[in-house]
Structures are given as structure tokens and as C-alpha cells.
Structure 1
Amino acid sequence: MTGAPGPARGTVRERTERGRAARKEAPRSAHAEVGTDRDALALLTADDAGRVPELLPIRYGRMAVSPLSFYRGAAAVMAHDLAGTPVSGFTVQLCGDAHLSNFGFFASPERRLVFDLNDFDETLRGPWEWDVKRLVASLEIAGRERGFRGRDRRATVAVAARSYRLAMRRFAAMTTLDVWYTRADAEEIRARYARDLGRRRTRVERGVARSRSRDNIGALHRFTTGDGGELRLAAAPPLIVPLRDLLPGDTSQEAALRGLLRDYRDTLPADRRFLLDGYRLVDIARKVVGVGSVGTRSWMLLLLGRDSRDPLFLQAKEAGPSVLERYLGPAPQDSAGRRVVEGQRLMQAVGDIFLGWQRQPGIDGVTRDFYVRQLRDWKGSVEVEAMVPRGMRVYADLCGSTLARAHARSGDCVAIASYLGSGTAFDQAMVRFATTCADRNERDHRALLGAISDGRIVAEAGV
């Protein structure tokens, strides 16, 4: 793997020439290739090591729902596939799991609704192509799930690749600070896509409104109970289990998590530490989240400020090695939690003010890494299951440009833009890649259903 690990070096002309020269080593049409065949279920079950055993059936039950849900939980499988594909040699900070459902809305510190990548569990420095390929394959798979015609699916994938390419060319012409300051807020998105959305703007407006309702006050109504006069997290097993129910009479886990919260504070800037000190921890629960994350330890922390109407919900989520590390080498950070946080800060235009990390010994004697963030801060996502082809193309365009902006912050946007060029060779290669990858993903999903049917894998449906 080539490419400087830090900021781009050299003159614009030198960087442009490096980009063009890379086409000889990795022709843009070669990106249609998919890696060698493999045992997807073996890769998945190997990834189960260290997870909470009783939660694994939920993971596989969720992955079994559809090929798209399988794909969302199979980042380890995709990493294997990508490791054998051509690369141009230019590295960026990767999301590592840039499928279409890992983009969404959340609040900026200035309380504006912004759109960006929102999952960084697998982040690592690596080839920019890997994130693009993870995205375009997810769009093809989602299009199949929605019953779109082949030409509509191909058009959607081509739009995403084209959007990434053109956005990277725009960033290549901008100053370094202008690239860093670029972001997409909800108002800008509505204006940019008003004509394309047409009558579906009402649906978008409702989605934006829902995102703004997903805040700490909304979480207070959804996740707590006042029974007994004291505010507590409400039980909804197996997805939400208060610590008092999970380990009745055992205070050691609570003490460990209080220690995690106390020590995580040191990873925040001084002003955020001051802000956090205005809250007190009142309750803890284990919360099952996501698809691929099911089985990793995730804790919901309820803190209160001045009174019971002043809540702060934090999530302490376990962080392990990125699935990309077995192919790209170990992360430079001294903990997986720090890897996630620093990767997120590099890629996102704006970030969670409570984002931090900590390494903490568990009550079972195993030291684990965690990162901490707000559980809900206007977080929302697009309803893929309700999309029509036109809306999917709009979303593909938005995700492609957003991913390019995230990569431009940490990679050589001039060299990448020069490599991609003004033609459609890369776009068409992504269409072919996405089709082949989706075919393989469908086979992997069928293999999972077979393993569940014959008892090799235990799955719990509907959870």
C-alpha cells in the first residue's frame, strides 16, 4: 500500500501528475473486479469471538431478514473481498463501513441539522476506493430489495460514483481550509434537491422533523420510568436491560462503569469536562444496537443536570479492532476507542461535543476499549424501505458527495481527483462491481439461512 499517512505533500502539479500516473498501475476500469471467493459464514463466526454469547442469536436473526440486512452486518466479509481488489495507492481515513444506512442527520454544536457519515466502528486509514465500493454495493442491494428495475439500479450506482468523482474534483480546486469547513446542513440539502424531490419533499420534511425530535427530552419519554418516585431507565428486554436487572445485587459492574465515565472525562477538552461535571449519573442499562454491532457491549447512561427534566443520555460502546486491520495492519492508536474517536473527528465536518474514549477493566478481568457519545442528538436516517428510484438517486448523489468530502479532509484530493478524471470509466466500473458484489451477497445470505435452518447457527427472529 502506497500513499503518505499524513497531509498531501508537493505542488498541485506534482500531485496531479501522481494521480494520472496511478492509472497505469491501477486502470480505472479494473475497479470492477471483486476479490476471490471465500467462506462468508466462517468470516462472520470468527468475528463473534469476545461478543456477549446470549446476544449473538439476535445478531443473526437481524442479518437473516434480507440480503440488505445481511450486508449491513457483514463488514468483515466485505473487508476480505476488498483486500484483493486494485487500488490507486492514495490513502484516506476510511469509514470502513460506508453503506447507505451509515449516513444520516444529527445536530451540530451550533444546533443545526447536518448530514454526514455517522458510524465509525471500523474506521482506519486505507484505500479510498474501499469506502466507495462499500457504498455502491449497498445501493445496488437496496435497489434489488425495493424491486427496482436493473436500469434504475445501475443509474443509482452510477450517480453515486459520479457524485463522488465530481465532488472530489471540486475539493481539489478549493483551499485546504475551505475543504475543512465544508458541510451539508438540512436547509442546503432541501435547496439543492428541491426540483429532484418534487412532491416527495413533504416526506423529507417529515423526516427532518423526526430527527429534531430525537433528542434527550425525546429519549427521556421513551426510555425512562418514574415508578417509585425516582427516575430510572425502563426495562425492555432483551434490547434494554437495566443493570439492576442484569446483575441483581452485584455492584461491581456499576462501579466499573462509573469509573469508565470518570476516566473518559479526561479525553474531553476542558470546556466539555466542565459541561459534563454539571450532570450526575443516575442509572445504567445494557442496550442492543445496530446489526453488525449486536453482541458487543453497549451501555446506556442516564445523567441528570438541574432536575429530572434536564437529562443527558450517553452511550458507552465497546470498540474492538477494525475488521480492516487484518488486511491493512494495526491502527496506530493505543486503544480501539481512541481509533474510533480520532477517525470520526477526521472525517466528520462537525462532531458530538461529548465524544471521547476510555479503556476499562471489566468485572470478568478482561480489559476492553470503549468510546462514549450522546445516545441521541437529533439523530435520524433516511427510510430506505420507502424509497422510489428517483429518491434513491438523490440519496446516492448526496452520499457520494458526502463521502468525497470526508475523504478530502484526510487524503490527497488533488491526486485522487486527477486519478478519477473527467470521464466515466470509474463510474461504469462501479456499476459492474456493485452488480457482482450484490450477486455474491445474495449467495452469502442464502448460506446464512441454510445454516440457521440446519442448526449450525442459532438465530432469534423479530428482535
Structure 2
Amino acid sequence: MGSSSDIKDLLRERVAAKYTIDDLKETGKKIRETAPIESLAAVSKIDRDPVQFINSVEQNLTESLLPMRHQRMGASQAAFFRGTAELMAYDLRQGEKSGINLLIDGDAHLQNFGFYASPERNLLFDLNDFDEAQINSFEFDIKRLLTSVYLLGDQQGFEADKLDELVQTDASIYRKTLRDLFKLGALDRFYQSTEVKHLMQEIPGAEDSQLLAKFVKKATKRNNDSVVKKYTLTTDDGHMRFKDDPPSSVRLDQATYQAIYDGFTQYRKTTRADILVLLSQYRITDIIHHSVGIGSFGTNCYLVLLSGLGGGHIVLQVKEALPPRQELLPHTERMTLQQEVSQGQRIIAAQMILQKASDPFLGWFNVGDKSYYVRQFRDMKGSVDLEELNFTEFQYYTQITAYLLAMAHAQTPQAAVVTGYLDKHFDSAVQRWSKWYLNQVKADYSAFLRAVDTHLLA
């Protein structure tokens, strides 16, 4: 079954009243008999061509942007890892797994966590990318997170022994946080906070980090007004429009402009009632193609400038919603929009479930066979530059992300099964697997660089 259809089932699902948390935990303990925790450390020969897989994904992207995409991916092993979620997704599906399925992020590496504003204008820190969200084995997320800890830590030259210990600690934090969350009722789990000030208190010593405080300050300055100032200009006749900055920001042809313009009518209907009323006071004054990121660089992505009644502007981002990358690989069946929740709705639904609070402007729309999702562009949004962190700060950061991943998973009731399945041996099992997979990432990165050098990739 395709991942989007799975999410559709999740949205309809009701956990039968006859089941208790203890029942679900007992189910998890029984799963150890068929999927021992030690099996999560099992490794096997990976037999696939990374270049072929990258090519398969890039057939769905804008060809003219591929050279710049490859340049960004080639900057470092970590950048390559960010841009090739399809490789690890495939490898995880081929390997040993628990089979305990719940809503996962699908791409929960260290750099897919970031700052953003709650509707109440509080600064939050949480998962911030959901393009790969799907129903799958819970450990896929923790393995991707821990592999990224090794990858970024290795790239920064941190000692191997310290990284081994840190990765096991991160796994332990995930396990214990999930366990503790299911000592609470469902409503209390739902109301858990990801406000920065709360998270800093959860990890001993994190409050004292001056560097982390610097990133918090930077994020709070990155608001809607600063976005308007940076990306727009006022024409001689007094109209505001986006600045041209090719190849990242380019003008649209009339047909594309009209399609996105018309899609906004659909989008408004998917927003909350209060946002619908708010948007009724704004009109579209410009749309531009604006490419961002690494993994999503090359997808159709737009900025929409809205001008309000009585003044003021909002910048919204419209991103094409592709299926999870693993569905773009060779010999993988894809489902049509008529058979499933649209890809845009899949991504937005996952974001609203996995985040503790979300951008109030979230929504989606479809144009023909393409699906899009919408969010506010860079409003109090930011990330931590991991290359600036010393080991102690890196340690705080990774522990916070492990804590947040457990909070995200705990929103799916099936995560109670995970709490019964896990024991202390889990920490070592996923640590060993992630350390082994680090070498696979390095090998894939080398193959990618050779393919670019020999023009097998643009």
C-alpha cells in the first residue's frame, strides 16, 4: 500500500476502546519474538546503484536546475545525505525491521529540525520538513537521525569514541522519552510543548549555551517584515513585486502564473476558518519561481506576495508536493491522486500531527496532476549552523532532537506498542547499525562525485 493511502487510513482510524496502553505494550513485547531488538543492528550487503536512483528522482525535477542542485549536494557528505533521502529509505526497507508501523517523518536528520513561530508568536523548535512523511517502521526515523549524528560529528572531527557514546545516549533519550510520554494520558501527550525555553530546560546544561542563544535571537529577527524587505522592491509606479535573482528566483510564464493564482482559491478552502477570513483581506500582487534547499532544490517552488486591505504584506511559499522519494525509484508502483490523499494533503497532515504546533497558514491545492502545499515563508524560521558548535553544544543539540523525535512519534497511538518493544539493548543496536551505515553514505557520496565528474549526472 502506498504511503499516502496509509496516511489516509490513519486520519480515519480509531483505536478500539477495548485496547489499553498495557495491551499495546504487551503486543510490543511479543513482537520481540519475531523481530528481536538485536536484529535492528543487522547489516547486509547493499546492492543498488546510487547514481541510477538519483537519476530516477531527478527525472521529476526541473532539468535546468540540476547542475546547481548537484553543486549543492557535492559541497559535503552531509549535504549529499540531505539531498538523497531515497537511498537510505530504500536500504532501510530492504533490511531487518521491527514492523511496528506508525507515522514517521521519513527524513529526520539533524538538519531537518528548526525554529519557527507558533500562532501565538512563541518561538518553537521542532521537526520542520515532512516531504517524506509516511507510515513505516518507527526505527527508520531514529536510524536516519543517528546516522546524521555520526555524519555531522565525523565531518567536524569529533572523536569517534565520544560520538559512539553520544549516539547511544541519543537513542536512550528517544527510548526513555517515549516511555515517559505513555505514562501520560493522550490529551497530556498532545499538549506537550516544544517552546525553546521549555526544551532548553529538558536537556541539562543546554540553557547555558551562549551559541544556541545566538541562533534563537537570529530566528526571532527573521519575521514577515524582514522577508518582504529582502525579497521585494517597489516599482516606479508604486507597485510592490519580487526581485529577480536568476537562477534561484525567476519570472513565470503567463500559464504557470495563472495556474498558481487559480490554485489559491482551492488553497484558501483548506485553511482554518480564521485564516480564511484573514486571507479574504489580501490579494495576490506577484508570484515568482523561487528554488530553495538541497533535497527539494529542483522541484517547482514559488513565492506568492499578498497585499492587504489597508496596507501590509504576507509572503507565502508554494511547494510542489512529490511522492516520498522511495516511490520515485525504479520498479516502484505509484498511486494516482484519484486513489489517495493528494501529496500536498499528505505532507500537511503529517506536519500537523508530528509538530506540537504548526504554521497557521498551512494548506494545499492541486493543479491538474500536480499537488502543492502552502506555508508562510521564513516567519521566525531558522536553523542552527551545526558547523559552529563545539562538541558540548553539538551534544545538547542532538539530545534535543532525539527528545523531539520521541514526542513526534508519541502522537500516533501505535507508538505505545514501541514502548513495550524497546529495552536498553535498543540503544546499542541502533548505534552499531548507524555507525556501519555511515560508511555506506561515504561510498555513495564518492560514487556521486565520480558521476558528476564523468558527466553521468549533469
Same fold, TM-score > 0.5, yes or no: yes
Structure 2 CA distance, aligned partners of 1:235 and 1:328?
39
Aligned to 1:219: 227
Give the C-alpha shift of residue 135 in structure 1: 0.7
Structure 1 CA distance, aligned partners of 2:42 and 2:314?
47
Aligned to 1:354: 361
Structure 2 CA distance, aligned partners of 1:168 and 1:193?
15
Pick closer, same or farther for the CA change 1:304–1:227 going to 2, 3 Å: same
SS at 1:379 equivalent = coil
Candidates 298, 301, 325, aligned match of 1:298: 301
Cα deviation 1:126-180 (Å, max 9, x = unaligned) = 1111111111111110011111110122122112211110111011111000111
Aligned ranges 1:18-167 → 2 under 5 Å:
18-34=27-43, 36-167=46-177
Q: Is 2:249 the partner of 1:240?
A: yes
Structure 2 CA distance, aligned partners of 1:328 and 1:106?
35
Residue pair 1:318, 1:368 contacting (<8 A) in 2 also: yes
Aligned to 2:430: 430
Q: For 1:133, give the aligned amino acid.
A: K
Give the C-alpha shift of residue 335 in structure 1: 1.1
Structure 1 CA distance, aligned partners of 2:91 and 2:148?
14
SS at 1:410 equivalent = coil
SS at 1:282 equivalent = strand
Cα deviation 1:195-248 (Å, max 9, x = unaligned) = 2464xx2212211111111111010111111242321111111111233xxx3x
Structure 1 CA distance, aligned partners of 2:333 and 2:347?
16
SS at 2:410 equivalent = helix
SS at 1:125 equivalent = strand
Aligned to 2:390: 388
Pick closer, same or farther for the CA change 1:439–1:98 going to 2, 3 Å: same
Structure 2 CA distance, aligned partners of 1:107 and 1:312?
15
Aligned to 1:277: 280
Structure 1 CA distance, aligned partners of 2:43 and 2:289?
38
Q: For 2:290, give the aligned amino acid.
A: K
Structure 1 CA distance, aligned partners of 2:212 and 2:345?
35
Q: For 1:239, give the aligned amino acid.
A: S
Aligned ranges 1:186-201 → 2 under 5 Å:
186-193=196-203, 195-196=205-206, 198=208, 201=209
Structure 2 CA distance, aligned partners of 1:339 and 1:382?
27
Aligned ranges 1:261-340 → 2 under 5 Å:
261-306=264-309, 310-325=312-327, 333-340=340-347
Give the C-alpha shift of residue 34 in structure 1: 4.0
Q: For 2:106, give the aligned amino acid.
A: G
Aligned to 2:216: 208
Cα deviation 1:73-106 (Å, max 9, x = unaligned) = 1111011110022222321111111111111111
Deviates more, 1:5-14 or 1:54-63: 5-14
Cα deviation 1:366-404 (Å, max 9, x = unaligned) = x31100111122111111111222112211111111111
Identity over aligned pairs, percent: 33
Residue pair 1:169, 1:413 contacting (<8 A) in 2 also: no
Cα deviation 1:322-372 (Å, max 9, x = unaligned) = 1244779859743111111111111111111111111113xxxxx311001
Residue pair 1:96, 1:123 contacting (<8 A) in 2 also: yes
Backbone CA RMSD of aligned residues: 2.0
Give the C-alpha shift of residue 194 in structure 1: 5.9
Deviates more, 1:399-408 or 1:325-334: 325-334
TM-score (normalizing by structure 1): 0.91
Matched residues, number = 441
